[in-house]
Amino acid sequence: MPITIVVGMQWGDEGKGRVVDLFSENTDIVARYNGGDNAGHTVTVGSEIFKLHLIPSGIIHPHTVCVLGNGVVLNPATLLEEMEMLGSAGIAITPERLWISDTAHLITPAHRLLDRAREAALGKAQIGTTGRGIGPAYMDKTARKGLRCGDLLDMVTFQLRVKQHFEEASGQLTALYHQPAVETSPLAEEFLAQAAQLIPFIRPVGARIRHALSQGQSILAEGAQGTLLDLDQGSYPFVTSSCTTAAGVFSGLGIGICPIERVVGITKAFQTRVGGGPFPTELQGETAAFLRGTGANPWDEYGTTTGRPRRVGWLDLVLLKYAVEINGATELFLTKLDVLSGLDEIFVCTGYQREGAAIRQADFSAEAGFLEQCKPIYEAVPGWREDLRSLRKWEELPDQAAAYIKFVEESCGIPVTHISVGPERSAVITRE
């Protein structure tokens, strides 16, 4: 059976977790194919709020098998915390329900120390990383010296490699970043004890997913972060260290090129970003505060992982069309439409000017240096005052809200099939 891919169309934080939760109801396997615990997915089920960083959101449905693919970098401490949190909520986390790829790489406390030291050394040029060791773990992966989950199956050799890893990292911290020497033994021992608890969950994930596909099982592939943070296609160098686009599914899960049924692009009805880097439509002042919220609610615009206030701005259709093309998106899932309620006028970026001239889509680049020179060209559309949070049918939307959605899909060339109007699992309008 073909695969459905859920991928972020912006700089992450688009609401992928609640979308994966919604689609998982009719899915056999939910597989995460990239990133680490710098990603945060929030799912609201009734009065319960689940904040997940590694385990796919589909775990909340009791029938699903959830997978962490080889494209993921995995922090054992974070994963164990999530397993405990879910277990306390009555959600069973067993080796039958959670598979960890034997070729997924591990994040250690040394990676986290290196991440923070490198970011601090950049000074004003900081990228805005979460400091969770993602970049250094991927660096070790590409340098062919990383620690992989399958290495845990030979614990004697693994212990020696962990000792060497911590000693090397400690040397880098003192020699390159002028940090105090680190007492590595306690950190290494704690890491080994945590990592060992994952052994029952480690599997040859690629082989199992290939078999599931041959048996006609349904697979939902869940991406972390968003298209504009992709290492190759995003606003480099202000990006993450993995492939965040739909193309990463094949390498990140260990499967061959196969039919894709749907690529569902998740986009907010406006734009947000965490960390450094260009943001052409960024807002300040009262409108920014209106879109961001106060932080009193878990769904306000504050990072799930870091708690940092997100930068906010108007919807950028230039970037959205670019993301649609890069991912081969077949449909859009528009989130947080309800946040725009109360605005008399909404602005949408429909083009850019660079050095006084309009930029053609064919000449567009998402590279940071290019975006920093771009000035947005806005089109104003009517807003609405009605509260949308109780609506569940397309026909119930105010005319202005429906017109806004049609404007987005006409600009992008693909349909908007779902619209979220609140954080709850049920707060979604599905268009036939």
Residue 385: what residue type?
A: R
How many C-beta atoms lie closer than 10 Å to residue 237's C-beta? 13
For residue 62 the two structure tokens come to 């009791």
Amino acid identity, residue 413?
G
Query: Catalytic residue at 151?
Result: no
Q: Which amino acid is at 432?
A: E
Two tokens, residue 111: 């990676």
Please count the residues of the chain. Answer: 432
Residues 6 or more apart in contact with residue 154 via CB below 8 angstroms: none
Return the CA Rg of the chain: 22
Q: Which two tokens stand for residue 69?
A: 């693919």
Give me the residue label for tokens 């807003």. Answer: 383
CA atoms within 13 A on the CB side of 216: 0
Q: How far apart are CA 72 and CA 120, in angstroms?
A: 25
Considering 41, 111, 165, 418, which one is annotated as catalytic?
A: 41
- Please tell me the distance from the alpha carbon of residue 376 to that of residue 348, in angstroms, as a whole number: 9
Active-site residue, 105 included: no
Largest interatomic CA distance in the chain: 66
Beta strands in 242-392 (DSSP E): 260-268, 271-273, 311-313, 315-316, 331-335, 343-354, 357-358, 374-384
The residues, ordered by sequence, that sit 6+ positions from 186 with a Cβ below 8 Å of its Cβ are none
Residue closest to 83 by CA, chosen among 43, 37, 58, 52 = 52
Judge contact between 158 and 199, C-beta under 8 A: no
Give me 104's structure tokens: 């997924």
Helices (H), 330-395: 368-371
Residue 391 CA to residue 377 CA, distance in Å, equals 32
Contact status, residue 377 vs residue 422, Cβ threshold 8 Å: no
- Residue numbers annotated as active site: 13, 41
